[in-house]
Amino acid sequence: MEELVLVFDKNSPQEKDAAINISIGNYSSEEYFFKFLVGKDGIWDEIKDFSKDASCTWIPKNDGKYFIMVQVKKEGSKKPFDFIVRGDFLIGEKPENLIKDVYIESEEIEIGKKITIQVETNSAPSMYKYWISGKDGWELIKDYCTENTLSFTATEVGKHDILVECKVPESKDNFDDFKTVSFRVKDIARPEIIDFKCLTSDLLVEEELIFQVYTRQDDTRTTLYKFLKINPDGKTVCIQDYSSRRMVSFCEKIPGSYKILCLARDMYSEREYDDRAIMVYEVKPYHAINIKSFTTDLNSPQAEGSKILLKAVVEGGKHLLYKFKIDGNYGEDSGYIRTSSFLWEPKYEGQYRITLFVRDESFTGEFEDKKSLEFFVEKKRQKVVKITDVVVDRNNHYIINEPINIKVITEGGIDPKYSFVVYKDKKEKERVSYGNANWVNFTPEVSGEYELEIKVKDKYSDKEYDSHQFIYFNVKEYIEGNIDYVLLPSKEYYLIDDDVEFEVISQNTKDTLVKYAILIDGHTVEETDFITNKKFTFKPKRAGKYIVEMYAKNKKCIEGFDSKKSITIYVNEAPPVTGTKILCNKTSYKISDEININVESCGGKEVCYEFYLMEKGNWILVQKYSRKSYYTLMPFIEGSYRILVLAKSYYKKCAYEDYDVVEFKVEE
């Protein structure tokens, strides 16, 4: 769009009643309407209403300094006006300017930065009034005051004018002089979302789901993030309102397809968001059920009456159910059971087909996975070799380039022979042929899941094997940082300014880094980076529920963390009220005697007391909770009386923390 300007056919100043022609310069389009207004002493008058005529004639009737404003509106626009062209004109003799000059700190700044202006006048004292032009017209920043400097924050992009109105204190006019100064507010580089990740590998019901967003932005600026979750039914839930935290975690209770939307914006951005990213994720009720192996402890064939153990190794699911179905000369069906093995004792020879069915107990269908094997039962009984145990020395921590020792324990047979075969991704990697050694050392060179098949047979057996078994190794590049225990002092009651110290116990301590985050009533107040120190101490400054979250990872871990634990600590303003005791020097009194009851207690903060009196078998509240630790009464009826005192700290919302009861008699 052209930069429109005001054009006057006469130079300022002019005498009153002079006809002054005002027009819009640098105007080449017919798609605008123009409205001309003139203002003096804060009062605006219309010269000419909206029309396509870009000029008008103005005849001033009084001396003074006038503002000329032209509101410009595009054809078809629904706004009151789209932009404004301004100018000023002096009628009569030009008086000495009250404002000598207006100094601005910078003529161009970024949005969100502060800008300062200073006014210099030819007379002191003076009063100053400040206006700013924006998309909604002139807005008052500060009413008349004696301060000649103004500092404010730029919150709107574009070109702006600062109008300073000035007058001396005794002046009755709206202003004696004014001056405008211009500056431009430029937009900032918007933060850009470059990645949006789910740090949780398996998205399951009731398991913690962790999402993290990565942005590219200026390091000197602060980016805020807002996370919205869209449920399968279309309902939107705000997980986190705008905050500097770029990681959120939560759990889902229902399986299904969800969406998570991340909105990112600069802290001082005037937009609802500067960038956004959405992720679709599927939450499953449990890991998919997969039968990794279905074997027998004895190799086929076997003799009638042999006890054959059917063994299944299954991954996935939450609460697995197994069914073993045997079809042949004599069929059997275990029905769905919770154990992953079944002892089968065939009574008749013949060919049998054994099928394993597996499903989760929450699954309504027949099965989720199945696997079958063939087995032959013969009449002749044979003495066979059986694997009774497999011993592995690494305690489930399998690391690349570190040997794993496997030892096989067997029973039966005359001279057992052993063979070992290593598979990775269903492909054979290593093989040890049949020999006398019942052990083997296996050194993995790359990470991943390995499968080791152990075969055992008697020296005189003509079978491929008499017994075999599979074991699995999940080999990693490093030992994951795992928090085994968190040691806390035996202290059960914490007060403000107490030192709260705890220690993280983890294996592979030297290579484990720990990150600590302290939350008070759900808000993060302190957070460390990943550090080697396993002891952490903090001093609470207010009462409340403190949650300390600990994230552990190995030094070699690049993203996220390996494990997480949290502890909860309740911090109180004062110790509990204890040892409440009623001080009464006598146990019997006369009618009309004045009885003074005093109370003392230990602990608490600004302890309050409430007194009850039992008279003729009825409890009566005689003094509500107050700081008064004494009560005076004068009995007029003989009999047995009891005094009950309840005590608590003033800030406690409970009925009481401690109490005491005393009994005395009143006689004639």
Indicate whether 74 belongs to any domain: yes
Give the mean model confidence (pLDDT) for residues 77-81. 85
Shared domain for 1 and 91, answered yes or no, is yes
Q: Is the pLDDT at 269 greater than 90, yes or no?
A: no
11 lies in some domain: yes
Please determine, for residue 381, whether its predicted confidence score (pLDDT) is greater than 60: no
Tell me the residue range of the domain where 470 lies. 386-475
Residue 513 within a domain: yes
Backbone angles phi, psi at 511, to 5 degrees: -100, 5
Q: Which of 537, 572, 607 delimits the end of a domain?
A: 572
On whether both 210 and 235 belong to a single domain, the answer is: yes
At residue 382 the predicted structure's pLDDT band, cuts being 50, 70 and 90, is low
Cβ contact 346:308 at 8 Å: yes
In this prediction, residue 94 carries a pLDDT of 60
- Tell me if 111 is assigned to some domain: no
Same domain, 583 and 533: no
Tally of domains within the chain:
6
Tokens 């909860």 belong to which residue? 568
Task: List beta partners, residue 648.
Answer: 608
Q: Are residues 408 and 324 in the same domain?
A: no
pLDDT at 109: 85
Pick 563 or 358 by higher pLDDT: 358
Q: Is residue 153 part of a domain?
A: no
* Structure-derived torsion over alpha carbons of residues 432, 433, 434, 439, reported in degrees to the nearest 10: -10
Residues 357 and 427 in one domain: no
**554 phi and psi angles, rounded to 5 deg:** -75, 155
Task: Report d(CA 240, CA 227) in Å as an integer.
Answer: 5
Last residue of a domain, one of 333, 350, 378: 378
pLDDT tens figures, 396-445: 778 888 899 999 999 888 789 999 999 998 899 899 999 999 999 988 98
pLDDT of residue 491 exceeding 80? no
Written as six digits, the tokens of 644 are 């009950």
Q: What strands lie across the sheet with 137-145, from one edge to the other?
A: 108-110, 177-186, 158-167, 127-134, 137-145
In this structure, the answer to whether residues 87 and 3 fall within a common structural domain is: yes
Q: Please check whether residue 186 lies inside any domain of the structure.
A: no
Q: pLDDT-derived band of residue 635, with 50, 70 and 90 as boundaries?
A: confident
| 446, 512: one domain | no
Looking at the structure, do residues 446 and 497 belong to the same domain, yes or no? Answer: no
Query: Judging by beta carbons within 10 Å of its beta carbon (0-12, 13-18, 19+), is residue 471 exposed, middle or buried?
Result: middle
Say if 397 falls within a structural domain. Answer: yes
Q: Is the pTM of this model over 0.75?
A: no
Give the CATH number of the domain where residue 397 resides.
2.60.40.10
Q: What is the pLDDT of residue 534?
A: 87
How far is Cα of residue 478 from the mean position of the Cα atoms in its chain?
28
510 DSSP 8-state letter: G
Residue 314 neighbours by CB distance under 10 Å: 19
Residue 194 is predicted with a pLDDT of: 92
Residues in the chain: 668
Angle at 56 between CA 54 and CA 59, to 5 degrees: 160
Same domain, 556 and 643: no
- CATH, residue 608: 2.60.40.1930
Q: Among 66-70, 101-105, 146-150, 570-574, which stretch is predicted with the lowest mean pLDDT?
A: 570-574
Rounded-to-integer distance, Cα 89 and Cα 64, Å: 9
- pLDDT for residue 661 is more than 80: yes
- Cα torsion 547, 548, 552, 555 to 10°: value is 140
On whether both 332 and 354 belong to a single domain, the answer is yes
**Cα 668 to Cα 151, 178, 285, 577, 636, distances in angstroms:** 83, 94, 79, 38, 9
**Taking all residues of the chain, what is their mean pLDDT, rounded to a whole number?**
88
- Rounded (10°) CA dihedral 50, 55, 56, 58: 120
**pLDDT over 90 for what percent of the chain?**
35
The answer to whether residues 119 and 149 touch, using CB atoms and an 8 Å cutoff, is: yes
Max Cα–Cα distance, the chain, nearest Å:
134
Res 311: pLDDT: 94
- 195-220 tens-digit pLDDT: 999 999 889 998 999 999 999 988 87
Q: What percent of the chain has pLDDT over 70?
A: 98
Output the pLDDT for position 2. Answer: 59
Residue 367 lies in a domain: yes
CATH classification at residue 35: 2.60.40.3880
Q: Do residues 324 and 391 share a domain?
A: no
Judge if 471 and 502 occupy the same domain. no
- Quickly state the pLDDT bin for 383 (edges 50, 70, 90): low
Given 475, 498, 514, the domain boundary residue is 475
